[in-house]
């Protein structure tokens, strides 16, 4: 047929007739292909929906729960063992049955216990080796608010006493001893100690034993705690005790900044080879407190805290300090680096506290790139923190304080940038300040306060340092030697 000889309108009419014949044939012959492509397109969008966080939702309202990743060869759900997440049912036996099953899998790489979304009320329970405890988004483990469900344990050997009362102490909500290869992680699920019950009883003096931590792991190694929230602990929140190779990463720790007594955030205690990083801590006592035992008990136990890296933190403590060392440091603390830390809205920023009777040492401590924002006292070293488990402590057991460096210290709204209070019997030795500029709220002369301190200032710093320190220029050439290291210029009135 000679299409080119048809009139213009006739050619279009002929093409429309061809299309009417061709489209049904094409659709019939390619029906399977279209079906496959449509399913693939829908499936890809579905998977994208499942795996995106906070992305656009095309097919349902709300953000779907993220799937539980499998971090071990075998994974269980708490509901497999009778768990009920209604906030009322006590799930202690469900946790215990699940962990018992995982304890049999150590030679196969261990097991994972998934805690789904819900409120999982429980009394304290023990972890096992080669275990991952995984808390889903919106999963909350709740501590039972009744001390009769909390077991009593012997005092820590490096303390000799319960920290608040002689004799036994309450155990922790989540506990572990002599373990290896333990992971506590999740999609930022929460472990909540419901500490309000304990704080009230403590203030009313109705407790006969020391309160228990929220999470305590003892005599263990290869521990990872990440991507969770810990809140409202009865006592210290996270307490690794005599552990090695511990990593705490991307953890949020919360408690009221007032009227939540002794709710320290993280207390590394006689621990070795540890990293704490990328955490947010706002609590009712020290954000972090590095410890190693109390007076003669810590001296006898003899396990130092050493090789600890703390970095990339935001910390708040209106009652105590952002990051402390001590006061229980009788086994010694050494080789600690604290860097890239913001302390805001706090009573003190960084502090070392000790006293006669402690013994031990604090040495080789590096503070680098710290920011203080609205802090009453920035840097504190205190040598008369006199809390002792016994009246008959040995006052001749004197701690050694030496080798501290402070570099890149900045901030604003600080009342007293530095207060280092050594004493004749416990002098503070070999302290270095470099690159310091802190905005102050009180323009008094002695806002850089010193007593019995030996050290140096390199370059110019603000505010002007105390006269106890030697002055060096930026090239570390001596400019002026201190006339006396024992000058005392401490004013606790502001």
Q: Which of 285, 286, 295, 373 is catalytic?
A: 285
- Using CA atoms, how far apart are residues 23 and 322, in angstroms rounded to an integer? 73
Query: Can you tell me which residue has the tokens 């002599």?
Result: 178
Which stretches does DSSP call E strand in 356-427?
Answer: 361-382, 400-421
Contact 471, 479 (CB under 8 A): yes
Assess whether 467 carries a catalytic annotation: no
Q: How far apart are CA 124 and CA 118, in angstroms?
A: 18
Question: Could you tell me which of 465, 365, 486 has the C-alpha nearest to residue 419?
Answer: 465
Question: Treating both helix axes as pointing N-terminal to C-terminal, what angle do 31-51 and 8-29 enclose, rounded to 10 degrees?
Answer: 70
Question: What angle (nearest 5°) sits at the alpha carbon of residue 346, between those of residues 416 and 326?
Answer: 85
CA distances from 257 to 197, 317, 420 (A): 16, 6, 25
Q: Which strands sit side by side in the sheet containing 215-218, from one edge to the other?
A: 125-126, 174-177, 215-218, 238-241
The label of the residue with tokens 């949020």 reads 252
Distance from C-alpha of 189 to C-alpha of 186, rounded to nearest angstrom: 6
DSSP state, residue 468: T
The secondary structure of residue 345, as a DSSP letter, is: E
**Beta 478-480 vs 470-472: how paired, if at all?**
antiparallel
Q: Give the residue from 107, 105, 149, 147 showing the smallest Cα distance to 125.
A: 149
Q: Is 382 helix (H, G, I), strand (E, B) or coil?
A: strand
Helix (H) or strand (E) run with residue 295 in it: helix 295-301
E strands in 187-271: 190-192, 215-218, 221-231, 238-241, 244-254
How many residues are there in the chain?
A: 494
Q: CA–CA separation, 14 vs 419, rounded Å?
A: 96
Let me know: does 76 contact 111? Beta carbons within 8 Å. Answer: yes
b (16+ CB within 10 A) / e for 453-491: bbbbbbeebebebbebbbbbeeeeeeeeebeebeebbbe
DSSP 8-state class, residue 340: E
Report the distance separating Cα 20 and Cα 336, nearest Å.
80
- Residues 386, 289, 399, 453, Cα dihedral to 10°: -90
List, by residue number, the catalytic residues. 285
């Amino acid at each position: 047929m000679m299409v080119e000889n048809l009139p213009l309108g006739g050619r279009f009419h002929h093409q429309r007739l061809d299309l009417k014949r061709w489209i049904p044939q094409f659709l019939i012959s390619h029906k399977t292909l279209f079906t496959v492509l449509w399913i693939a397109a829908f499936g890809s969008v579905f998977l994208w929906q499942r795996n995106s966080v906070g992305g656009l939702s095309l097919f349902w309202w709300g953000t779907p729960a993220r799937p539980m990743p499998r971090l071990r060869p075998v994974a269980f759900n708490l509901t497999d063992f009778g768990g009920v997440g209604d906030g009322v049912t006590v799930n202690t036996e469900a946790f215990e049955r699940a962990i018992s099953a995982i304890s049999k899998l150590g030679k196969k790489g261990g097991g994972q216990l998934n805690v789904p979304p819900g409120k999982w009320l429980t009394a304290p329970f023990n972890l096992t080796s080669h275990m991952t405890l995984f808390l889903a988004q919106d999963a909350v483990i709740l501590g039972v608010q009744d001390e009769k469900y909390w077991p009593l344990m012997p005092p820590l050997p490096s303390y000799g006493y319960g920290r608040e009362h002689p004799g036994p102490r309450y155990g922790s909500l989540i506990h572990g001893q002599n373990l290896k290869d333990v992971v506590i992680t999740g999609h930022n699920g929460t472990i909540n100690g419901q500490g309000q019950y304990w704080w009230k009883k403590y203030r009313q003096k109705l407790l006969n034993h020391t309160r228990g931590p929220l999470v305590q792991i003892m005599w263990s190694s290869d521990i990872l705690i990440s991507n969770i929230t810990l809140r409202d602990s009865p006592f210290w929140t996270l307490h690794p005790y005599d552990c090695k190779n511990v990593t705490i990463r991307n953890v949020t720790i919360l408690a009221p900044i007032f009227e939540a007594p002794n709710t320290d955030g993280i207390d590394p205690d006689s621990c070795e080879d540890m990293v704490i990083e990328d955490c947010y801590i706002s609590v009712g006592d020290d954000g972090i407190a590095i410890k190693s035992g109390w007076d003669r008990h810590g001296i006898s136990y003899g396990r130092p805290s050493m090789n600890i890296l703390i970095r990339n933190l935001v910390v708040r403590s209106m009652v105590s300090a952002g990051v402390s060392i001590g006061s229980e440091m009788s086994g010694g603390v050494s080789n600690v680096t604290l860097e890239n830390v913001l302390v805001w809205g706090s009573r003190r920023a960084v502090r070392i506290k000790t006293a006669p009777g402690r013994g031990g040492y604090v040495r080789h401590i590096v503070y680098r790139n710290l920011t203080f924002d609205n802090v009453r006292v920035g840097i504190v070293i205190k040598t008369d923190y006199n809390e002792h488990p016994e009246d008959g402590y040995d006052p001749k057991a004197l701690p050694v304080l030496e080798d501290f460096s402070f570099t890149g210290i900045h901030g604003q709204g600080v009342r007293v940038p530095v207060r280092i209070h050594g004493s004749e019997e416990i002098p503070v030795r070999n302290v270095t300040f470099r690159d310091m500029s802190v905005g102050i709220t009180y323009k008094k002369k002695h806002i850089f306060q010193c007593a019995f301190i030996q050290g140096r200032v390199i370059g110019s710093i603000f505010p002007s340092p105390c006269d106890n320190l030697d002055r060096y220029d930026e090239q570390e050439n001596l400019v002026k030697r201190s006339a006396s290291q024992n000058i005392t210029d401490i004013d606790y009135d502001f």
